[in-house]
Each structure stands twice: as structure tokens, then as C-alpha cells.
Structure 1
Amino acid sequence: MLGPARFRPRQTRVNHRFLNSSSLNRITTRPNSSSLMPGKNLLTDPSKVLILGAGNFGSCLADHLGDSQHEVYLWAREETVVKHFNQYHRNPNYLQDHHFSTNIKAVGPEMPGRDLINEMDVVLFAIPTQFLRDTLSRLDLHLNRENAPLLIFVNKGIEIGTHALTLEIIADTCGADIAKAATFISGPSFAKEIVKRQPTSVSVASFTESEAEKAALLFHQPHFRCYTGNDPIGIELSGALKNVYAIAAGAADGLGFENNTRAMIITRGLAEMTCIGTAYGASPLTFLGLAGVGDLFLTCSSPTSRNYTVGYRLGKGESLEKITNTLGSVAEGVSTSKGVKIIIDELGIQAPIATCIYEVLYEGKDIQVAVRELMELPPSKELDLPPTAGGPARKLMQKLGLKEGP
């Protein structure tokens, strides 16, 4: 059913090492299992995949799956993008120099209808978190709940206003059963390097283990390795929080600080992320993985990161308004910092770097003053994690009908 099609013999062997026999038994076709079509073999048959969002990351994942002989539909909001892509197999706005797989067809700008959605084995969401609730509300009208596709989410952010994670947005719009089966992919994975087939690894997590394994098998290639887990809350928080610290790292570089400062921000940023996540109810171990320290290190160290770029330009003295108007794509850390500040205050924990970034972005604090105030904080214990199984995660688990956290 789900999985890379027409695997080369070598890759099939890799996947048999990657998934043990019990795992394979869980993800072969069986009745009444979501996103499984009768008679489809995970290892040999191509999947039909709809990707919502033709930005940088959505486009690169479309190419990745098209390269595995899957039948990929890439939805774009702009009619000009759809026409250009289908005529030239290029995205006029993102990865412009890359020639995309001919297994990809662009669709849009209208939202895909019931017929197309119900033909899909997989629907992947690569749209900013702030647009997700509306998109899911419209999609829910077309979902066949008896045989729903595998839903994969690669957005990294916290919803403004509700400060909800994507899991909660899914539960609100599509119901608890859909949310429990939803799968999340996160990790150090710049789009321009994925399309170059450079070795990359990511975390794949879901409350439903078999769904995470399907997604891992779908994406697995010799240059792209997936590691599965059962802490989607931690994966979500990691992906959202690291963007805030990437802004801090970029700002430090923009101000002219060097390696010591960047190392401090990455290390203390990881400590803050782990503290926030643990208080929220995620596993602290998740923040030591690819979606945590891996993605944090990448986004704090490279101008390829949009969030790093926002921080760098702030450090150089540009206004946030000018930066966001000329960036050319969404830097989720800017909006996420609002939700993070609310979560920090509600949890009653200390996260000085995240708090300073919020104050610089939304309260007009001078960035030089913010740096001085951070460095003038009194000495404190380096690592002091709060108890796990925090209130927000517990409430979310109850909403999903799950008794225990990851």
C-alpha cells in the first residue's frame, strides 16, 4: 500500500533491515486499516500522494517521492505556478534551477475535491501552521473516514491566538481518530540539499506506530533515512521551538558575535527547549534527537534558514516589517514566538532566550539591550528539568482518548 515503488534490489534489502518482521506485518494490507488499499504491496506498488503546499519544502518532498516512482500531485495556490510547473517541470518561485520529476503533476489553485482526495493513499501538509486550521476544515468535508489516507504533516509552528499544536488543530477539525493516526516528520533537512540527494535523516512520529512506519517506508531511500518514534508532541514542539532560537543565533551573527556566542545559544536553546517540552508533557529524550538538537544545530548555523536570516537582518539593524515584506517566504519562528511566550507564561518556567526574542519582535526591545540583559542574569543551575507529563499534553491526550503520554 504505502511505500516507495519499484525499489532497487539494494534498497529493498535496506528496508528489510530497517523494519523487522513484526513491523512489516503491521504495515501490509489488512481490512479496516486506514490508508490501506486492498491488494497493494508496500514494497512494490507506487502510492498516490497529494502534497498541499508548493513552497520550498513541499516541492522538494514532491520531487523526492516522484523520484521513487510515486504518483505525486502538488497543490499550489497560484494558477501561474500550476501552469508553469506542468509545462516546464520547474517551480518558478522555489528551487528554480531544479528540474522536477515527471511523476509530479501540479494541481490548483482550487482546493482538491472529494474525488481526488479519496483516490489518494497519502495527503501531506506542507503549508504554514497559521493556515492549517482552515485547510483542514475544508479537507474534512471530503475525507472518507472508513478508509482515510495516511496524513503526514511537515509544518513547524504554533497557532497564533490558540497557541495550539498541529495535533490539537487536527483533533478540532477532523476528530480524535484522525489526529491519533496523523504522522509528523521533522529534522535537519534543507530542501536544496534533499533535491541534491545529499545524505539526510529525519524523525517520523505518530501515536499510531504503524502509521509512522508507513511514512518512514514511504520516504526511505538510500540517501534519506527515517527514524520512527511515538512522541509526536515532542516532535512538534522541537520543530516549532528551534525556529525561535534560530532567530537568536542569526541575530548574534548579525551583531558581529562569533563562535562562542553561537555555541552558547545552541546549547542554552536546547536546554530551554527541553525544559519547555518536558513541562508541556513531551519526553525529554525527543529533544536529543534529529528533530531536536539536530534541527536546532542546522537552523542556528546556516543562512539557508529563513529564521536565521530574520535574526541576522535584525542584528544588522533592519526592521521586522521590512524583513518580513522582503523575505520571500514564511519564517515560522516569527509567529511561533508569540505562542511560545504564552506557553512559557502558562507553564511558569524560565526561558530567557525565547522571552528576549519575543520582546525584540513584538515589544520593540533593542536587540543590544536584550543581549546585555541576558548576560547580566544571575548565575543559575545549568540543567533543572521540571516533572514530565505536564498539563497541556495531558489535556491533549484526553481529547484524543489516550490515557498515557509517550
Structure 2
Amino acid sequence: MPSSSVSHPKCNILVLGAGNFGSCLADHLGDSDHNVCMWSRSAELVKTFNETHQNPECLQDHVFPDNIKAIGPELPSADVIKGMDVLLFAIPTEGVRETLTALRPHLDEGHLPLLIFVNKGIEIATRSLTLEIIADTCGPQIAKVATFISGPSFAKEIVRRQPTSVSVASMSEPHAERASEVFHQPWFRCYTGGDPVGIELAGALKNVYAIATGVSEGLGFENNTRAMLITRCLSEMTRIGAAYGASPLTFLSLAGVGDLFLTCSSPTSRNYTVGYRLGKGEQLDDIIRSLGSVAEGVTTTKALRKVVDELGVDAPIATAVYGILYEGKNLQETVQGLMSLPPLRELDLPEQAGGPVKRLMQKLALS
């Protein structure tokens, strides 16, 4: 790949989260000549990173650019936030509400940094997407300009500068375009859109379906089954998204089918790995304990079950994953149950849609 970068104004960027994805995006942004701070809750990680420019917990063999500094374990101060042009949130969804609540007093709406979120999940207790969490903690005006990035983007390949493309969405088109400009490089293309709800749902749901395809592989099923399963997962997540109120077209995007295909077809995916090891007979608690990083599909499955029940939408694959993870359902019997369902219309969207989005729009003071 070409080593020259696309010239954009240099930004001061704070990346909240030093896991695989936060670290690889910090690396990408630092290599794009931005000034980057990466926050971690681990004092040892902060110390080691600043001494060696390597992350001791993930991407251990990679040397990061000199213009990246680690900070923490305390949350960034008001002075640090004030000096930032961009806040990039790369923390698990279950931690977003707490983090935003703590940071809200430091956010000046008159001089608000660009807020970008790359987490993929649904909050279990509230069934909220991140957009709604932002509205709850920071208010509708901040939520309406928040930006979301999602797509087929494994961390190890990003740091090797392999060609990667993502979807960038916000309710504010200028903010989506700004986020795209911050990230866009010859090795990292960005495509903007206006459906953050669909982007969020696609990013969260594909993790659940990656567990399903991992189970299939672990049980020894091959190419026919994989192709069938990924296609039916796409149909199911599109149906759920349309019932929620997202655009069905969003699920044909990089954040939709692109990320679904990647996550469902590679052992690099943590969620696929969880499913694969379940298919091989391991217990979920043992898998989670030894995984070494978060597999958001495990928690998202629990939240998605509540969403599916609320929407009244048919989602047999997601329901089957829930049964395997949380009800101890037998894997072979679950497969037989799915394959024994009666013939169905292949492509089908709900006649009525949009209940959750309508509530969210009311919360954002939008019609």
C-alpha cells in the first residue's frame, strides 16, 4: 500500500479504550499525523506503553507511532477534554453510560469536540443503543451530532495497513463528513450515511450471528451450511432492524453485510471463536475466562432477546443462540429444530415498523 497519507488538518484526538480496536485506531490516527492520547484504566499499561510504545495487553508485537501518548488510569480531566478536537469511544457498550456520565461535566456544548463511537452492542438493562445512552447522559443536542463508525475491520489488519473500508453515520451529515475526513486514508476508506440506528444495530447483531456460525463450524458443518447461515442471518438482522425502525438498505452496507460476512467467517473474530469452542464441547464460562478479551456478542445476545420479544419479530437464529448461551440448550437438538422449521417466504419485512425509533426520536426532540 502507498505510505503517503491524505492531508487533512491535524487534530488532537483522545481515544477512550486501549483494547484491540481502540489501540489499532489510535495507531491509524497517529500514523495519519494526528496527535493522539489513548486512555486506559490500567496503570501498568499506561506506564509500559509510554516507555516502549507497545501495548502489553494486545497487538503486543506492534510498535506504535511516537505521537501517541497513553494516559490514565484516572478519567481524563476537564483540561484534557478541553484541548481535544475529537473524542473516540472504543470501550464496551456496558461501560458507555458510566463513562459518559463522568465526562459530561467536562463537555462544553459551545465548543464540543467531535464525538465518535466504535463500540458494538446493546445495553442489557435498558435495551438501549449507544445513541440513546448518549441522549440519556449528555442530552439530545449532543446525541444528534454523535458519529458512529462500523464495518469489516479486524485490528491486526488495520495496523498492517491492509485495505479497509467502513461506514460512518450520524444524524448530522456535517459531523459524519468530519469524522470521515479524520479517518480517511489510502489504506482506510470511509463512506458516510445518515442511519446511525441501522449502523448500530448491524454492528451489535452481527456479533450474535458470529457465535451461531462459530457453533456451526465447531460442530463440523462445512461450506453449504456456512453460506446458508450467513445469508439467513442477514435476512434476520434486516428484519429486526426494519422492525426497530432502521433502513433495510443499511444492512447491505459495509457495516451490515460487510461486517457480518467478516465476523462470521474468520477465527480472528472473538465471537466466532466463542461459538466454535462451544461447538467443540467447551463450557461458556471456561471460554470467557480464557478468551482474554471481550466478546460483546455474549452480552448482546441477552439484550437482543428482550428487543426481539418487544418487537414481536421472528428471529429463530438469535433465539437459538440465546438458548445455547443462557438456557443450556443442546447444540445438535437446536440445529435440528432450526432445520425442521416449516418452509417460509425467503425475503420478508415487517408490515409495521419503527416503534423503538419513534420513542428515540421523541427523546431527541425530533419528529
- TM-score category, normalised to shorter length: over 0.9
Query: What residue number does 1:52 align with?
Result: 16
CA offsets, 1:225-260, max 9 Å, x none? 000000000000000000000000000000000011
TM normalised by structure 1 equals 0.89
Q: Please give the alpha-carbon distance, in whole angstroms, between the structure 1 residues aligned to 2:196 and 2:305.
A: 21
1:11 corresponds to which letter in structure 2? V
- In the other structure, the counterpart of 1:267 is 231
CA distance in 2: counterparts of 1:200 and 1:284, whole angstroms: 23
Amino acid at match of 1:250: G
1:352-391 equivalences in 2 (<5 Å)? 352-387=316-351, 389-391=353-355
Q: Which amino acid aligns with 1:127?
A: I
Check if 1:138 corresponds to 2:133.
Answer: no
Residue by residue over 1:269-315, the C-alpha shift from the partner in whole angstroms, topping out at 9 and shown as x without a partner, is 00000000000000000000000000000000000000000000000
Confirm whether residue 11 of structure 1 aligns to residue 2 of structure 2: no
**Is 2:276 aligned against 1:312?**
yes
Please give the alpha-carbon distance, in whole angstroms, between the structure 2 residues aligned to 1:107 and 1:147: 23
In the alignment, is the contact (CA less than 8 A) between 1:205 and 1:229 conserved in 2? yes
| Paired position in structure 2 for 1:29 | none
Q: Quick one: distance in 1 between partners of 2:138 and 2:312?
A: 31
Where does residue 295 of structure 1 map in the other structure?
Answer: 259
Matches within 5 A, 1:88-237: 88-237=52-201
Q: Any idea what the Cα deviations from partners look like across 1:154-210, whole Å, max 9, x if unmatched?
A: 000000111100001000000001100000000000000000000000000000000
> Secondary structure at 1:11's aligned position in 2?
coil
Cα distance in 1, alignment partners of residues 351 and 45 from structure 2: 48
TM-fit CA distance, 1:319: 0.6
TM-score, normalization by structure 2: 0.98
* Distance in 2, Cα, partners of 1:317 & 1:109: 38
* Alignment match, 1:78: 42
Q: Tell me how large the CA RMSD over aligned residues is.
A: 1.1
- Contact 1:278–1:387 (CA under 8 A) maintained in structure 2: no
Instruction: Report the Cα offset of residue 11 of structure 1.
Output: 3.2
Unaligned runs of 5+ in 1: 1-6, 13-42
In percent, how many aligned pairs have the same letter?
68
Give the Å deviation of 1:389. 4.6
- Contact 1:216/1:228 (CA < 8 Å) preserved in 2? yes
Opposite residue 42 of structure 2, the aligned amino acid is E
Name the aligned partner's letter for residue 24 of structure 2. Answer: C
In 2, the alpha carbon distance for the partners of 1:388 and 1:98 equals: 49
Aligned mates of 1:138, 1:369 — CA distance in 2? 46
Whole-Å Cα distance in 2 between the matches of residues 401 and 204 of structure 1? 23
C-alpha spacing 1:102/1:388, structure 2 compared with 1 (3 Å): farther
User: Is there any run of 5+ residues in structure 2 with no aligned partner, and where?
Assistant: none
| Equivalenced residues, count | 365
CA deviations over 1:52-73 (Å, ceiling 9, x no partner): 0000000000000000110100
